[in-house]
Copies of this chain bind each other. A is one copy, B any other.
Amino acid sequence: MSINWNTIIGPQVLVDSKKAKRNIKRMQEKAVAAEVALRPHFKTHQSVSIGKWFGNPETTPIAVSSADMARMFASAGWQDILIAIPLNPRALPAYNRLASEVTLGLTIESIAALSTIERLQNSVDVYIEVDAGYGRTGISWRQHELIAQILTHARNIPHVRQLGLLLHAGNSYNARGDIGIAEIHHESLQRLQELLPHLPDAETLRISVGDTPTCSRMHEFPGADEIRPGNYVFYDWQQQRIGACEWSDIALALACPIIGIYPERGEVVVHGGAVHFSKDWANVDGKPVFGQVVHQTKSGWGGPIQGAQLIGVSQEHGKVRVPDAMLKELSLGDLLVIVPAHSCLVMSAFHGECVVI
């Protein structure tokens, strides 16, 4: 498949469907081999058409990160949707409507949240978020009693269908390489094992874990019933730097036209800024870098161009440092293909709009 670069005005998100579908398939095969279910997190792509690459919506359980996103995918045919962020009591009417249409899962992490669950009029699955070391949301794995208390209370609510525990080892994003990822993976699952014996009817709980680094690099998920990675469909520069993927796995990049050339400072400026790339970054020698320029090919893009990086973003401008030899060859209006630090935020900025190649 080739791409007609002349038709791209930019800035534009490009999705390499071959790579993305390979990433999807690889994770499906891993889940089968590891004997866990796979519930891909759809916050990464936020696209109904890309969502269908994961399989038939009616039989593909998914995770999302807001009631609005659940609504979008429910309306498009997905039937089993877990909102994997602690519930917002103000969204009760939205949850109620969703629960009347699909198998809805909600996430809680306090006694207080149960009053929202109680007020629902339809059946829901309820997951208690457990913090096994990340330190963002969830109840600490050490708080056995509180978790047990919530479970007991939740079991008494007639319309609570399945009960579960939800873990997200987001601290794996600070890891480097398989050894670092494995440490966090094992620590997280070990803490789950410490917790379980303290919980009533623990064997009936559905255990959902997942994040892209551990799901990409680890092969066993002892104690888990399902894995819940999201970013792996595209990956990005942060994941490549963590060691969660290879350059050849990255399935999303931005094509940005050059609008300024500055030989005296070894830079070009592209149309493509914070509203396209986000301001998320990779730490390169202690400095924030927002994207890595890759080789443009007939069918998409190849590996990274050494020394060519997106070093600054304002609202619509992107400042790119380029090696002198490359700079001499560049003209106004040429496209640079740039892999962003964080693909999820890019797709959210573009509301899922992209050119699929």
Contacts and interface: CB of A to CB of B under 8 A. Distances in A.
Interface in A171-228: none
B348 A315 contact: yes
The number of chain A residues touching the other chain, given as a range, is: 35 or more
Interface stretch (A54-62, A120-128, A270-278): A270-278
Contact of A65 (B10, B279, B316): B316
A43 interface: yes
A252 to B, nearest CB: 15
B88 A333 contact: yes
A14 interface: no
B90 A137 contact: no
Interface in A99-155: 109-110, 112-113, 116, 135-138, 140
A65 B269 CA distance: 14
A260 B109 contact: yes
Contacts of A333: 88-90, 116
A128 B10 CA distance: 22
A261 interface: yes
Contacts of A9: 67, 88, 90-91, 94
A319 interface: yes
A110 B261 contact: yes
Contacts of A90: 8-10, 257, 333
